[in-house]
Structure formats: C-alpha cells, structure tokens
Amino acid sequence: MARQILVALKPQQRLDEIMPYIEEIVRPGEKVIFLMRYPVKPWLWLQDHWVTTESITQAMLAGKIMMERYSWEMQKTLAEERIAPARRVLRSKGVDVAPEIYTSSLKTVVETYTRTGEVLLLQADSGLPLMRFLRSATAFLGFFRKASFPPVLLLRPGH
C-alpha cells in the first residue's frame, strides 16, 4: 500500500500556509488525507446555537436551517470546498487527495490509519497565538533573534 500523509487541519488554519511543505514531501502515487474535526466551521456552529427570536415560527425555521447546515453531507461538502485548491495542485502531481471529517480524538484517527500501512502526520504549529505574537514582538524590538521554525511538524506515528 502507498504511503499516506495525514494533514491535521485546524478550523482557522489556511491551507496555503502548509501547501509548500506538503508539496515538498509528497511523491506520485501517495495519498494525502486532510483531517478536519466536525463541525468544519465551529465559529458558525457557536453562532447558530445562540439563536434568539421572538416568534416560534422563526425559531423553528432557524432550527431547520441549523440542522441542514450541520448534517454530515453538508459538512462533507464544506470539507471538499476547503481542500479544493490543494486537490487541484496535488492531482497534477499524481497524488490522491481526500478529506476526512472526524468526531473522535485525533489520536484515535491516526492510530486507525497506522494499522493500514505507512503514515506520516503533518500537523500545524500548535503554539498559542499570544506566544507567537510575543516572539515576533521581541524579535522586532531586537531583544532576541526570531527562531525560524517551520509552521508545521512532521511525525511518523508508531516509530
């Protein structure tokens, strides 16, 4: 079985930030799987769950729209839309691309994939936004030299 590259995407993460790293490690015939937690757009989910209305009819309509938006099919559509640019680029290189929405822990999903063959996990920098800001600010002010770490981490689970 060809090697699979799992890319754990955070909701706010931009795909164009990590695509250069994916393109660097991927080879023709491999498969890149973008892992996204359900719901794909959590901020919209939070906003939807704060529905306020004065009429029962409006509340029922809002509930119906909310149910449609969070259906599994709609979430798959959102995931497909999110990875469409990566799919175009990687397919031209002979790489299969697929999204996967998961509801369990990321660890469980990765363990499932490691049972099926060789897997690489590409994960974005998990630094807190405040810490990234402080590192940048101190580097800007000249106190410290800014570390030039790539924004992704490449792991080989199970090794």
pLDDT, tens digit, for every residue of 21-63? 999 999 999 999 999 988 756 566 556 556 666 777 877 777 7
Both tokens of residue 153? 């981490």
pLDDT given for residue 130 in this prediction: 59
Tell me how far apart the alpha carbons of residues 65 and 56 are, in angstroms, rounded to a whole number.
Answer: 14
Count of structural domains, the chain? 1
Both tokens of residue 9? 């995407």
Q: Is the full-model pTM beyond 0.75?
A: no
Q: What single letter denotes the amino acid at residue 14?
A: R
In DSSP terms, 8 is beta-bridged to 35, 123
pLDDT given for residue 36 in this prediction: 93
Interval 118-127: pLDDT, tens: 888 887 765 5
- Select the more confidently predicted residue: 33 or 144: 33
Structural domain for 30, as ranges: 4-155
